[in-house]
Amino acid sequence: MKLWGGRFSKETDTIVDAFNASITFDSKLYRHDIQGSIAHAKMLAKQGILSDSEASLIIETLENILDDIENGEIEFSIDLEDIHMNIEKILTDRIGDTGKKLHTARSRNDQVAVDIRLYMRDVITEIEGHIRNLLRTLLELAEKHQDTIIPGYTHLQRAQPVTLAFHMMAYFQMFTRDLDRLKDCYKRTNCLPLGSGALAGTTYSTDRHFLMQELGFDKICTNAMDAVSDRDFAIEFISNASIIMMHLSRFCEELILWSSSEFGFVEMDDAYSTGSSIMPQKKNPDVAELIRGKTGSVYGNLINILTLMKALPLAYNKDMQEDKPPLFHTADTLKDCLIIFEAMIKTLKINQEKMFVSAKTGFMNATDAADFLVSKGIPFRKCHEIVGHIVLDCIQSGKAIEDLSLAELQGYSPEFDDSVYDKINIKSCIEAKKSFGSTSSVSVQQMIEEAKKYLERE
């Protein structure tokens, strides 16, 4: 008979058992379930609801069960629905009626809620560590490539020259915001629901503040109904994970483009590439492509859990059992992607010469030519028009702006003089940027120093 079977006159159909069960996926929570149960047993003993000897027996047995699970000595039963009922059944089988006292002043509703929050705390902390590793690798790349010049793009068209360090630091900023969002999500996750009961609290004289301290929570969920019936903290995590995956995917897209023959800016290490089953010459950026592809499944998880929760009346509903597959899948996918992406870019081969040659073509010094005329007192819009005509004529003649003689340039504007050639030199175009946050070497060095301070604080 089920642990809740007293109300029923017949067993559930075996089809219902299989359909109703979550043990196939929530077994992942075994450690957190036992952690919460041990804290609950200590609290019951502290409040005199259990005797010290009863609590000690329960705690010792739960610790033994944990060891047995991790040693692969326990097989969970689908008939017992979920990880909570499985562990409780194992406990009562080992110590009898004393084990049945553990569930006093507790519901599976607050039990699963605390399990999920304990799991998410561990996951968020682990993912934060992977992001910090990625940030350190990006910073190393930036420090190494402060003088590596690369085309900057808008609309995937060459726009203005930048340094590779500047480009890497753009992603550094994105991932710091991702890290900050996770830290903020942790604050809302780290709220204790245990002690809320099914939805309305409990008639027993419990001590939720003791539970909070025992389990390391920062605060207590103040409304029992809210504590058991919402999963917004999990939704927030999956949302944050989706943003991180988006940033990884954008980075991967660039690496895929850059590794193509058309760009030739980078080459993936053999350890992070694959070949073709038919074309011997191929070296495919499959790791980057898979990260880009897996981003879609994480987005799907966000839509999944939002849709799951969107029409549920308070308080707990069985629908909420389905919150765990998208949560677990998101956490596992994000961890895997961060680990392999960081390793992939750490081994990236960078073709500095190809980047520089590309940066010298495509009239990326056109804005600087216009700025030169602005310095002579000509309105910017007029300067824009003048240089636009120069570019058009250069395209037709197959020349670069710097290839034109001074006489040719003065044919467009008499304000041009010999100093323009220094101004439109590709390196000068980079160093001329004076605004805070620009691609100049001084600005990028400031970014790097601030990044080091950020990581020291982390």
pLDDT at 2: 59
**Is domain 362-457 in CATH 3.20.20.70, yes or no?**
no
pLDDT at 21: 84
CA distances from 426 to 141, 160, 267 (A): 22, 9, 24
145 neighbors 265 (Cβ within 8 angstroms) = no
Structure tokens of 100?
């049945």
Report the candidate in 179, 144, 128 with the shortest Cα–Cα distance to residue 448: 144
50 neighbors 97 (Cβ within 8 angstroms) = no
22 neighbors 321 (Cβ within 8 angstroms) = yes
Separation CA 110–CA 217 (nearest Å): 15
Is 1's pLDDT higher than 60? no
CATH architecture, range 109-204+224-357:
Up-down Bundle (1.20)
Separation CA 59–CA 66 (nearest Å): 11
Task: State the pTM of this model.
Answer: 0.93
pLDDT band for position 282 (cuts 50, 70, 90): confident
Is 441's pLDDT higher than 80? yes
Q: Catalytic site residue 155?
A: yes
Separation CA 144–CA 405 (nearest Å): 37
- 155, 261, 405, 435: the catalytic one is 155
Structure tokens of 109?
């509703």
Q: Catalytic site residue 276?
A: yes
**Mean pLDDT score across all residues of the chain:** 95
Is 4's pLDDT higher than 80? no
- Kindly state the average pLDDT of the residues 320-329: 96
CATH architecture, range 13-104:
Orthogonal Bundle (1.10)
pLDDT at 7: 67
CA distances from 407 to 231, 259, 415 (A): 71, 41, 11
What would the pLDDT profile of 118-160 be if each residue is shown by its tens digit?
A: 999 999 999 999 999 999 999 999 999 999 999 999 999 999 9
119 neighbors 108 (Cβ within 8 angstroms) = no
pLDDT at 458: 85
What would the pLDDT profile of 362-408 be if each residue is shown by its tens digit?
A: 999 999 999 999 999 999 999 999 999 999 999 999 999 999 999 99
Is 5's pLDDT higher than 70? no
Lowest pLDDT segment from 5-14, 191-200, 226-235: 5-14
- Please, what sign has the CA dihedral across residues 174, 175, 178, 184? negative
- 51, 53, 260, 276: the catalytic one is 276
Contacts of 456 (CB under 8 A, 6+ apart): none
Residue type, 422: D
Report the candidate in 282, 269, 241, 272 with the shortest Cα–Cα distance to residue 131: 241
Backbone angles phi, psi at 349, to 5 degrees: -95, 125
Contacts of 49 (CB under 8 A, 6+ apart): 104, 105, 204, 205, 206
Separation CA 87–CA 281 (nearest Å): 55
278 neighbors 370 (Cβ within 8 angstroms) = no
pLDDT at 243: 98
Q: Where are the domains of the chain?
A: 13-104, 109-204+224-357, 362-457
Separation CA 385–CA 376 (nearest Å): 15
Is 12's pLDDT higher than 80? no
